[in-house]
Amino acid sequence: MFLTLLLVTFVVSTIVSIIVARVFRSPVERILKRIIADELSSAWLRYLMFALYVVGISSGVRVWDLEKYITKPLGRGAEIVELTADRWVLEVYRTIISTLQGVAWVLLVFFLCSLFAFLVSRIIEARKAQNAARPEEPNPKS
């Protein structure tokens, strides 16, 4: 029964991660193309999608929480928690929420970093435009 629960949480977290990655792929791709050169943006996009899958799945499959179904707790009269239908529903719900939380953190960090990179590139572009608009001063030593 435990192995089935482990497999179900893995499949559910994988599906949720794939759905979220597909939803955010286009916006992330546009942001990366704006900030990074075209050749590198596809590699960064691939890496970010990989990170979304890894963090989503590892957040959703909470092995340390699932151990309670196979490990007897310490203490007198302690019993292993039984896997009932209610527990299954709860574990699947926890898997979905945990996966979404993990993926949301990855996307939040990405969007904050890309916002910072966008602001830096805007400042550099503004300085270049400002320097190009200034007339050159004659060299007094000539």
pLDDT band per the 50, 70, 90 thresholds, residue 1: confident
Condensed to tens digits (0 to 9), the pLDDT of residues 5-45 reads 889 999 999 999 999 999 999 999 999 988 887 788 889 99
- How does pLDDT run across 66-108, given as a tens digit for each residue? 777 777 777 766 777 777 888 889 999 999 999 999 999 999 9
Please report, for the chain, how many H helices and E strands are present, in that order: 4, 0
Kindly write down the DSSP assignment for every residue of 40-98, as one continuous string.
Answer: HHHHHHHHHHHHHHHHHHHHH--HHHHGGGTSPPSSTT--PPP--HHHHHHHHHHHHHH
| Percentage of the chain modeled with pLDDT above 90 | 49
